Structure 1
């Protein structure tokens, strides 16, 4: 049952971080030191992502621009439109801060690791997934701050300028990624000897960020502000959003004439949102805001998408092998 629901070790550890932050939150000077270590881990993670991405995969993937354009439309057009349309329904039920988090989630780029993994398991276009997911994250470093500035922070801070945030996000995420690409000939051979190193930094940095974010939120009284009913409504809202996007990601590529492998790539890359990039972006973009409330929707959505995509990828894999 745990395997079916994609409740792997990382998922369990995510819940452990939330529980740990609830009862043993890091605060004061320790929180400052922990924040510096977390930032360094995130920078190393994106350096490793850059070193892992081969030039051949980039060239092969770039040529398939129609696929990337459709994934881009799902990620940065469909999701934001649905999030904005949900405002009259969600604000009265969730409150302003949680709705901000929900909308921020809609503005985020796609995932990298899981998009590629699910595409590979279901025997989709892996090269296309590598490029589409990676480009989504790179483009998102610029688009997400602009969307947040215009539709969220611009509503409460009329003079808010996203330029400084874009620079900070670029220095934290994009510069290490490019450096990894440049140094790939020297770094990648060592990465092949340690194949789990990217996974360790990927999951480890997310766990650290989640613990730090929820620690500060708990200190600020997060669980006094979010009731069980509010949490349930948020889970339902994330589930409904994912269902709508997945149905469109399933049928639109068919209507547009993409082959079966590309359909799977578009489905997995176009229906997910990144936690790895999302939480660091939130730390930069929402300074002085209740960060725990902002990242809670993406944490919930992230887990739901992993569960659903895990089941679907497994079914498609068996269909491909003729077992269903």
Structure 2
């Protein structure tokens, strides 16, 4: 029996589409913009508190011990991928608005997904344990690495990581995660028993962050600044990014002489990008009127990575 995964059967895709549509039709402007930002900030704090509770400290230690797999994965995700993003950002700057072009660099500095990377690794017959622990480690690292890495590569005022941004990252991302790690012994079991509710928390928080970001972009004239040519260029460049990311990750696994199961885990862990980190972090790093433009490549990349992941995993499962 052939496995069919309709695009709209993925709740995250539905949430992103709904949030974007709401921002276009009913953008949060004026006093409602401030209220929406406060709600988004509180939701992001809650999300990272729960993330700290559910990621076992033992998994982190286990991942750090397997450095032959995770060190190359870390260097690929936070080394080569930002370089690819930087190159595509320069190319995009010739055909797209500057903030959207900057979004390719931002996309390159983000960590990989957790849930979908593990799911498609499993479907493809890859090493699930490596995939789960690797994606978790990359997401933890992304909280600390992505913002300064993006600022270092961007080298402009738009990417200036000032004291305000550092404090906000500490208060909204690092602090709740640390609190979650400290108290996880008493609550982790309860969270694991309610994985469905936790998954919906992820989706709702990301949806709120996307709604606030795109509300600002709509207010700044997103619809009038993007014509058919710009949309075509954006899609083409995102497809190119995904092809380079996937092909490069697979090639690295071959060059490292990884076993096939490990190479599959490296592929999905190295090529996919996390909107769960990207959308909330963008709400902290960028003004609300800029965030929607910057995350446009990320949202499209996330959509396309899910489009190709299922058929790619099925092909890999056949050997």
Aligned to 2:96: 94
CA distance in 2, matches of 1:237, 1:315: 25
Residues 1:239 and 1:49: Cα distance change in structure 2 (over 3 Å): same
Residues 1:52 and 1:288: Cα distance change in structure 2 (over 3 Å): closer
Moved more, 41-50 or 236-245: 41-50
Write out per-residue CA displacement over residues 57-84 of structure 1, whole angstroms, 9 at most, x where no aligned residue. 3333222112111111221111111122
- Normalised to the residue count of structure 2, the TM-score between the two structures is 0.91
CA distance in 1, matches of 2:161, 2:254: 40
Instruction: List structure 1 runs of 4+ shifted beyond 6 angstroms.
Output: none
Write out per-residue CA displacement over residues 186-205 of structure 1, whole angstroms, 9 at most, x where no aligned residue. 11222233221221111111
Counterparts in 2 of 1:268-287, with a 5 A limit? Answer: 268-287=268-287
Write out per-residue CA displacement over residues 25-62 of structure 1, whole angstroms, 9 at most, x where no aligned residue. 12222222222222222222222222222234333322
Moved more, 51-60 or 267-276: 51-60
CA distance in 2, matches of 1:17, 1:305: 19
Aligned to 1:116: 118
Q: Does 1:47 align with 2:49?
A: yes
Moved more, 285-294 or 245-254: 285-294
Aligned to 2:11: 9
CA distance in 2, matches of 1:31, 1:15: 20
Q: Does 1:149 align with 2:170?
A: no
Shift of 1:299: 0.5
Say which of 112, 130, 148 aligns to 1:128.
Answer: 130
Q: Does 1:171 align with 2:171?
A: yes
CA distance in 2, matches of 1:274, 1:141: 11
Gaps of 5+ in 1: none
Shift of 1:7: 5.0
Q: Is the 8 A contact 2:112 2:139 kept in 1?
A: yes
CA distance in 2, matches of 1:111, 1:233: 25
Counterparts in 2 of 1:238-249, with a 5 A limit? Answer: 238-249=238-249
CA distance in 1, matches of 2:120, 2:153: 32
Aligned to 1:253: 253
Q: Is the 8 A contact 1:142 1:166 kept in 2?
A: no
Structure 1 counterpart SS, 2:95: helix
Counterparts in 2 of 1:178-189, with a 5 A limit? Answer: 178-189=178-189
Residues 1:2 and 1:9: Cα distance change in structure 2 (over 3 Å): farther
Structure 1 counterpart SS, 2:275: coil
CA distance in 2, matches of 1:216, 1:243: 30
Shift of 1:288: 6.5
Aligned to 1:30: 32
Residues 1:61 and 1:156: Cα distance change in structure 2 (over 3 Å): closer
Shift of 1:302: 0.9
Q: Is the 8 A contact 1:60 1:127 kept in 2?
A: no
Aligned to 2:302: 302
Structure 2 counterpart SS, 1:196: helix
Q: Is the 8 A contact 2:206 2:275 kept in 1?
A: yes
Shift of 1:151: 3.0
Aligned to 1:292: 292
Shift of 1:243: 0.5
Q: Is the 8 A contact 1:145 1:165 kept in 2?
A: no
Shift of 1:178: 2.4
Residues 1:58 and 1:156: Cα distance change in structure 2 (over 3 Å): closer
Shift of 1:237: 0.4
- Normalised to the residue count of structure 1, the TM-score between the two structures is 0.89
